[in-house]
Amino acid sequence: MNTANTLKDGTVIQSVDSALLAMNTSSRLEGIGEYYFSEKLREIDELNKAGKKVINLGIGSPDLPPHPEVIRVLHEEALKPNTHAYQNYKGSPVLRNAIAAWYQKWYAVNLDPASEILPLMGSKEGIMHICMTYLNPGDKILIPNPGYPTYRSAAKIAGAELIEYKLTKTNNWFPDFEEIGRGGLDGVKLMFVNYPHMPTGQLPTEEMFTALVTFAKAHGILLVHDNPYSFILNDQPLSLLKIPGAKDVTIELNSLSKSHNMAGWRIGMLVGAAERINEVLRFKTNMDSGMFLPVQLAAAKALQMEKQFHDEVNSIYKIRRRKVFELLTLLKCDFDQQQAGMFVWAMIPKIYKDGFALSDKVLRESNVFITPGGIFGSAGNEYVRVSLCSTEDNIHQAITRIKQNITN
C-alpha cells in the first residue's frame, strides 16, 4: 500500500510499504541445498562469536602463501595502466603456454596451447560448465560415491539423472567396472573421476587409468577427470591424458588452488581435445568475460615453480599429517598412512552411528571441527576427513582439547 507524507514546505512524498516480494526458486534448484561448508562455516562463526574459538580442521583451503615471485608478478602487473581491460575469453596466451609447458614437464602430456587449453576460474566452475555444456534433462552421468559434492549438485542443476558408482576400500577406492556395467549403461554420457581421490586420498595407477579409458571407449562415455591434488603429498603427478588414446574420451580439470596455495585466486584449467574445449567455451563465454590479466600472468609464473617449491610445501604437510594421525588415533579411528592430498580420511570406531555423530561430538565437546565423511556420499558415512590446512600448533591444540574431554 502506498502512503503519503507531507513535508513542512508542503512537498508530498509518496512512500511504499516494505513487503518483500515472494519468489519461487526454479525447479532446477529442487533438492539443491546450500553447500555444506557454507552452512557449517556460519555455525562455526556463531560459536566463535560466543567465544568458543573453534579449531577448524574441516575445509581444504591452503593456509600457506603462494611463492613470493607470484605475488611480485601480480603486484607489478596490477600497477601497469594497460592491464585492466576485459580479457580474451580463451585466456592469455602467456598462461596457455605456461599450462602447456607445465603439463609437458610434470605429466609428460603434450597439449596445443592454442586449441587444447582453457583457463578457468577454478576447477569448480569447470565442473558446472561441463555439466551445462553436455547434459540434457534425463541424460545419465556416473558420479563417484564418495566424491566431491559439486559433481552431484552441478549434474542435478543441469537436470541429469545421477548414477552413483560406489568406491570401496576393498577395491582400493577404484571404480568397479563390472558392478557399474551391471547397473546398465544405456544413456550414460559423462563420468566424473578424480585421482588422487578426494576424500579418500587414493592415488591412481596407470593400469587403473588404462582400464578407465578402455571402459569409456567401449561405452561411448566422456570421462571428466578432476585432478587438483596431484602435487600434494605425491611425488609422481599423473594425468589421465597420459594414457595412450585417452584424449579421444577424456577431458581433464586441474587447478592451482591446492598445488600452488592459490585457492582464493580462482585459477584452474580444462585441457583436452580442441573440439571439447570449443564446446565448453560456447557455454563459458556466456558466463564470464575472462580473468584479470595480472592474475593470469602471476599464475603463469606459479606454473614455472621448480620441484623445490612443492617439496617445501609437502614437508610442512608431512609434519601436520603426523599430528593428524595422532589426533585420529586418539579418536580410535582407523586410517591408511599412504594417502595423497591435503586430508586424512579415517574410518570411525563402531561406537558412533556415523561420521556426523563423531564430528558433532568433537565440535560440541572440544570446539574442534572435523568433516563427516557422509557429506561426500553414503559410502563415506563411516568416515571422517581431517584437513591438513591448519598449523601444527593448531592441530596440537586440537589434540590437547580432545584429550581433556576423553579423560574428563
Ligand X SMILES: Cc1ncc(COP(=O)(O)O)c(C=O)c1O
**Interface residues toward ligand X, by CB under 6 A:** 60, 122-124, 148, 194, 198, 226, 228, 255, 257, 263, 268
**Is residue 157 within 8 Å of 131, Cβ to Cβ?**
yes
Q: How far is the CB of 130 from ligand X (least distance, A)?
A: 12
Q: How far is the CB of 123 from ligand X (least distance, A)?
A: 3
Q: How far is the CB of 226 from ligand X (least distance, A)?
A: 5
Could you give the 3-state DSSP secondary structure of residue 281? Answer: helix
DSSP state of 80: S
Could you give the 3-state DSSP secondary structure of residue 192? Answer: strand
Residue 13 β-bridge partners = 5
The smaller minimum CB distance to ligand X, of residues 342 and 402, is found at 342
Residue 41 region by backbone torsions, left for phi larger than 0, else alpha for psi between -120 and 50, else beta:
alpha
The smaller minimum CB distance to ligand X, of residues 256 and 398, is found at 256
Q: How far is the CB of 47 from ligand X (least distance, A)?
A: 23
The smaller minimum CB distance to ligand X, of residues 122 and 201, is found at 122
**Is residue 337 within 8 Å of 357, Cβ to Cβ?**
no
Q: What is the dihedral sign for C-alpha 225, 226, 228, 229?
A: negative
Q: How far is the CB of 202 from ligand X (least distance, A)?
A: 12
Residue nearest to ligand X (CB): 122
- Cα Rg, the chain, nearest whole Å: 24
The smaller minimum CB distance to ligand X, of residues 208 and 256, is found at 256
| Residue with cell string 584479470 | 292
The smaller minimum CB distance to ligand X, of residues 367 and 371, is found at 371
The smaller minimum CB distance to ligand X, of residues 87 and 194, is found at 194
The smaller minimum CB distance to ligand X, of residues 226 and 382, is found at 226
**Helices marked H in 12-59 — which ranges?**
36-49
Q: How far is the CB of 258 from ligand X (least distance, A)?
A: 7
Residues 6+ apart with CB under 8 A from 19: none
Q: 176 vs 49, 215, 251, 340, CA distance in Å? A: 46, 11, 21, 21
Q: How far is the CB of 55 from ligand X (least distance, A)?
A: 19
The smaller minimum CB distance to ligand X, of residues 264 and 349, is found at 264
Peptide bond before residue 372 is cis, with ω within 30 degrees of 0: no
188: enclosing H helix or E strand: strand 188-193
186: which 3 cell numbers? 544405456
How far is the C-alpha of 226 from the C-alpha of 376, rounded, in Å? 15
Q: How far is the CB of 255 from ligand X (least distance, A)?
A: 3
